[in-house]
Structure 1
Amino acid sequence: MLGRFLRWESVLLVLCVAVFVAGSFSDGFGETSNISFLLLDYSEVALLAFALLPIVLTGEIDLSVASTLGFCSALTGKLWDGGMSFETIVPIVIVAGIVLGAVNAVLVVRFGLPSLAVTIGTLGLYRGLAYVLLGDGAITGFPENYRPLATDSIGGSFLPYATLLVLVVGALIAVLVHMTTIGRSLYAIGLGTETARFSGIRVNRVKFSLYLLSGCLAAIASLIYTLRYNSARADNANGMELVAVAAVLLGGVSIFGGRGTVLGVATALLAMAGLRNVLFLDDVSNEIQNVITGLLLILSVLVPVVFKPRRTKDVPLDPSVVDTERRPGADTGSRLRRDHQGV
């Protein structure tokens, strides 16, 4: 019972409650309009985090998600400014996001390049292409009949339409990760790529598909972002990839792969959104908020290392040696099943 309570998801839940209790002392925090703003403010970050989650589970990374969002936003503006209907723009932008994801997939999977180096490169490439499309200008005046989907709440409640979309995507990712054989494959790949291959898992196909999914979700996030701010700019969501990565790692997903749950990431997102909102209400500058985000990113990587001696029965030190250097009594198979089921 004590071990279950001390699982990282439980710690995050306590942190989340503490943030919202602290927020209750800020003027206006508990108002319906503010809760709606709190949820809406992190809708794009949540979509990017859910895009990153399965990729990080395999031991890879995609740092280009925010730049993909920026490019797709710029493309949306360019097409709209050219007179194309928004109904036609939406599928084109989503396909463009998938294409950008495919570029990452080809470089990482087909050519075997390190995903960190590749996606740092495409981070700059995609952002540069966004500037090629729009330059330093902005396109505004998007259709008013679609904007409420990115700005308004359902029936005047605290739940925005965009957050509902996030919940649906999160639920689908949870089903994929925790309730399917594909999800089990993600954990197996993260624990050891070669072992996964010998087990019959098509590692390259799985990773390739994940990058396509990442590009698709980033494109969807770009549509919400563009409509919400009624502005298509090349620098939209600049730096958002760090916030999304911080949410994933703070949510308990191992940067080395093989461990993590959707529940942990969702709780981390809610805690970070609440913290950002409290700081906003208390007039804390964006610079200080960025410092706090950086500290959270460092802590999310540092905490598992600090508590490593306590977790050695559950988490191998190196995924590549999961079959050859297990500690006596460590049951990798049972841990894989436990993380796969998200409990």
Structure 2
Amino acid sequence: MSTATLDRPDRAVRTYPAYSKPLWRRALLTREFAVIATVVAVVFYSNANVPNFDGPLTMYYLFLDIAPILLIALPMTMIIITGEIDLSVASVMGLSSALIGVLHADAGLSIPVAAVLAIAIGAVCGAFNGFLVAYVGLPSLAVTIGTLALYRGIAVGLLGTKAITDFPEEWTDLAKERIFGDGTSYPTILIPFVVLLVIFVWLLHFSAFGRGVYEIGLNDEAAHFSGVDVERTKLLLFVLSGAVSAFAGLYFTLRFGSARGDNANGLELQVIAAVLLGGVSIFGGRGALHGVIAGVVLIGVISSAMRLQGETVNVINIVIGALLVFSVIATTLLGWAQAFLAHRRAPAPRPGATP
């Protein structure tokens, strides 16, 4: 996906006049805050109307379910802000799962050593994607569709149709353990997620590297002339995506106690949906991590509440898909409305003035 340079409605919020508005308006009247407010409203509604939704087990399994999406959404947000995309993340998860199973069961390596090797190979997979996109100049959509099939094929080739399940209990229990003991809603996977969240928030929102990410998304050619190393930035983002996806594959394997080549099949669509729902522009140049986290939680809360009400997976997917389409349409309509109002407020040219 190449960086767009045309005028688009969702780019209106990036103009300098927008930054002259009061801080409270820039903070509250945003798509990200709208998603956060929607999460709060859905949680309150579910607590009041969905049986057992407010129980500790519901929140516990909610966090367990959305943990891989939360993890992968961090680098995916930055990649999409640059105007690129990575569709191979779920396949890297499956490859990581297969590698951990083979390295532990067949090669006799301990779980920590197998995990480090799997994460390193995940980073190599991301580097391969990034090299083809950043230095060869191929579109990321085409590249990662290809590597989606490639990495998944390698994963399935390593294990075939069998599953490896003989993992040490201390590691499978750790993946499902709670931070503050039984009766609480917070699994231990939230600890590495929070650590990674702090790192990515700093990278994207408080560093020169993050400013370069936004500049690339707005116009990669202009970013290059302003001193941003466009190729190296994109390569690093894909490396981070591969490494984090492999770590998510480790968690997925230990949580379910099963290493399979088809683990996490189709998860990349849930990650991308959550990122776009959280306010990141598919055209690049716009987005924030707090909106993305809210988008992931919103999808998780809606899915959990509907499951408790006995809805089928197909119905849940229809609702989530409709919500995503509505959010994209609403953003476009809002951009058009802002452009129309700005045009209406512009002073009329004086008679006889040169146009």
Match of 1:10 among 33, 43, 46: 33
**What letter matches 2:316 in structure 1?**
Q
How far apart are the structure 2 equivalents of 1:90 and 1:4?
40
Q: Which residue of 2 aligns with 1:39?
A: 63
Is the 1:66–1:237 Cα contact (8 Å) retained in structure 2? yes
Structure 2 residues without counterparts, runs of 5 or longer? 1-23, 341-345, 348-355
CA drift at 1:107: 1.1
Question: What are the equivalent positions in structure 2 for 1:177-192 lying under 5 Å apart?
Answer: 177-192=204-219
Match of 1:101 among 113, 126, 130: 126
1:123 matched to 2:112: no
CA deviation profile, 1:30-61 (whole Å, cap 9, x unmatched): 11122111111100011111120110110110
Q: Which residue of 2 aligns with 1:226?
A: 253
1:54 matched to 2:78: yes
Match of 2:177 among 134, 140, 152: 152
CA drift at 1:141: 2.0
SS in 2 for 1:307: helix
1:78 matched to 2:102: yes
CA deviation profile, 1:278-308 (whole Å, cap 9, x unmatched): 0121121122222233323323432222222
How far apart are the structure 1 equivalents of 2:89 and 2:220?
24
Q: Which residue of 1 aligns with 2:14?
A: none
Is the 1:43–1:163 Cα contact (8 Å) retained in structure 2? yes
How far apart are the structure 1 equivalents of 2:97 and 2:234?
25
Q: Which residue of 1 aligns with 2:232?
A: 205
> How many residue pairs align between the two structures?
318
CA drift at 1:112: 0.3
How far apart are the structure 2 equivalents of 1:228 and 1:53?
25
1:243 matched to 2:270: yes
CA drift at 1:311: 4.1
Q: Which residue of 2 aligns with 1:318?
A: none
Give % identity: 41
Cα 1:90–1:59 change in 2 (3 A) is same
Is the 1:191–1:258 Cα contact (8 Å) retained in structure 2? yes
Q: Which residue of 2 aligns with 1:252?
A: 279
Cα 1:198–1:43 change in 2 (3 A) is same
Is the 1:40–1:160 Cα contact (8 Å) retained in structure 2? yes
CA deviation profile, 1:108-146 (whole Å, cap 9, x unmatched): 111100001111111111111111011111110211111
Q: Which residue of 1 aligns with 2:343?
A: none
Q: Which residue of 2 aligns with 1:306?
A: 333
Cα 1:312–1:68 change in 2 (3 A) is farther
Q: Which residue of 2 aligns with 1:322?
A: none
Is the 1:73–1:226 Cα contact (8 Å) retained in structure 2? yes
TM-score relative to the length of structure 2: 0.85
How far apart are the structure 2 equivalents of 1:15 and 1:127?
35
**What letter matches 2:57 in structure 1?**
S
Q: Which residue of 2 aligns with 1:320?
A: none
SS in 1 for 2:193: helix
Is the 1:54–1:210 Cα contact (8 Å) retained in structure 2? yes
Match of 1:135 among 156, 160, 165: 160
Between 1:220-229 and 1:21-30, the stretch displaced more is 21-30
**What letter matches 2:188 in structure 1?**
Y
Q: Which residue of 2 aligns with 1:340?
A: none
CA drift at 1:258: 0.7
CA deviation profile, 1:144-178 (whole Å, cap 9, x unmatched): 11123311111222211102222221121111100
Question: What are the equivalent positions in structure 2 for 1:14-25 lying under 5 Å apart?
Answer: 14-24=37-47, 25=49
How far apart are the structure 2 equivalents of 1:93 and 1:304?
39
TM-score relative to the length of structure 1: 0.88
Match of 2:135 among 85, 106, 110: 110
Between 1:268-277 and 1:245-254, the stretch displaced more is 268-277
CA drift at 1:256: 0.9
Cα 1:106–1:31 change in 2 (3 A) is same
Is the 2:134–2:230 Cα contact (8 Å) retained in structure 1? no
Structure 1 stretches of at least 4 aligned residues deviating more than 6 Å after TM superposition: none
**What letter matches 2:55 in structure 1?**
E
